Chain A
């Protein structure tokens, strides 16, 4: 129970103490409110979780009729809807399609092909186009209108995640000439371009993890119609009766985000501050956090696959693909190692939930 009491002196002239209800205290002094909770033994967050505990999440896939693939992820009070729609990009004769088939391609060729505009600033992109929409009234803090700083940063982060993880096999997005062999590169007539739109319905912190998980699940559930080049009509047509999934990586990468909150530490008589890591922060904690750490990793569940309850964290092989830490200065290098362990255990839950939706063969 958090309290802020300074014992009044015994003198009777002391004015009566100011009293607040807890909910008011929460509003007027969020930093102190959070600290008092975390100083409890064991440390408990205002939302009742312990620091390394993430929120329960639910996943629903393919609930939208017009999207080629979709996922709804609800993690605590954060809810996102991700819809994927494929559109067709037709390659004009003489175009070099190879630049569409590589992630992190060398920039010189891109400049060559796109002209000067593609080189910097707002530019045209690749085949996989992720975007985040926050102007849906998801939170009273986020203003309506065109995407602000947060939405733009998130869109860029997700774009980078797509590039870093190389999640989608770009080869599989090719559209070939109708009745020819599929081996020759000359016969590539177009590509599927994937528009990934993430709409945040309810925002309560840690939107990146929810958005990325929704994207992975939606891609996993996507079915594109068979498309081929029709020589008579000279355009790409789709077959309304045949669909194929999008081919993805085998080992799925997931993100785990932590917030670091400064807590006074009085160990050994010295009064200092230590940073406490909070897994999967909500927006109240995010507002008070001095630093945010995001780890993107793949986890090899090995033999424990399928049996979620018997996972032991020590045995998980984790490979990190991206670390981002911003703000603050309190994170210790050793803490990053602990975070990868937590990321691994969260990845196991992610995979388990995907399997329940029957999206990964186990």
Chain B
């Protein structure tokens, strides 16, 4: 199985003025996210909810002005947090989350950004002391055919147990799963899976997509994956999130006694 992967670099409270903040750097792709959480704040009358807190998520791009991709990212984070935060504890208030993409290999790639964004947001929510039902952790997995020759992924590659006919396949064409792929690996990958699980092992978010390159048309026929392969992958993702992910949170917050 996978040996111990490189842990993400986490720096807590880099922004002392905010209620909670966190900077997170992905170990392989070096994607760096900075989030700040403020709340409960006064809410604009327009957005006020009578028995719940309003959650506002703003994703700011590393380069240029925000586009539809950033709006979609905030909407994905928003819907995940909606089920994590106990919004009924602070009715008629605002919980504001601002996530700034500091550094990224590819500023338009949703799979590369989503996992760091989610993990960073959850850590800063914990720092800010926002009441949550549980915590979650996100992991990004890429399925690559033939991992030979990929650099910088030591300890991040593993095989799925019983995936395919082991005896029939050669080393080159074998499908392997790479954790936290960088953009180089992602460009060779067949599919990308962003999986987020809660501490208890409930699925919070799935964002899995076929991502092989090509000029499309008939060459794309037959792409995709079988659902049973995905289920194995999801089990693996669940294990990583619930064991290693929770351990990372525990370590990061150890001396703060909030977890």
Contact = CB atoms under 8 A, between A and B. Distances in A.
Interface stretch (A166-174, A175-183, A304-312): A166-174
B217 A153 contact: no
B53 to A, nearest CB: 16
B101 A120 contact: yes
B19 interface: no
A320 B187 CA distance: 20
Contacts of A247: 217-218
A166 B210 CA distance: 10
B214 interface: yes
A331 B225 CA distance: 20
B215 interface: yes
A151 B144 CA distance: 33
B211 A104 contact: yes
Contacts of B107: 119-121
Contact of A337 (B68, B231, B235): B231
Interface residues of A, number: 62
Nearest to A331: B203
Interface residues of B, number: 63
B70 to A, nearest CB: 7
A165 B83 CA distance: 30
A329 B187 contact: no
B171 interface: no
Contacts of A102: 213-215
A4 to B, nearest CB: 19
A292 to B, nearest CB: 8
B18 interface: no
Contacts of B234: 333, 336
Contact of A103 (B64, B76, B110, B216): B216
A29 interface: no
A106 interface: yes
Contact of A152 (B72, B205, B221, B235): B72
B79 A327 contact: yes
Contact of B64 (A119, A156, A253): A119
B109 A107 contact: yes
A149 B205 CA distance: 19
A233 interface: no
Interface string B213-231: 1111111111111111011
Given A170-B215, A320-B225, 12 more contacts: A102-B214, A103-B216, A104-B212, A119-B63, A120-B62, A121-B65, A121-B70, A156-B72, A171-B216, A249-B221, A320-B224, A336-B230
Question: Which 6 pairs, one residue from A and one from B, show the smallest C-beta to C-beta distance?
Answer: A169-B217, A120-B107, A122-B67, A121-B64, A166-B216, A319-B224
A297 B225 CA distance: 9
A319 B67 contact: no
A152 B224 contact: no
A249 B64 contact: no
B146 interface: no
B205 A325 contact: yes
Nearest to A344: B227
B108 A123 contact: yes
A75 interface: no
A319 B213 contact: no
B252 interface: no
B207 interface: yes
A359 interface: no
A327 B80 contact: yes
Contact of A119 (B108, B198, B205, B208): B108
Contacts of A120: 61-64, 101, 104, 107-108
A250 B221 contact: yes
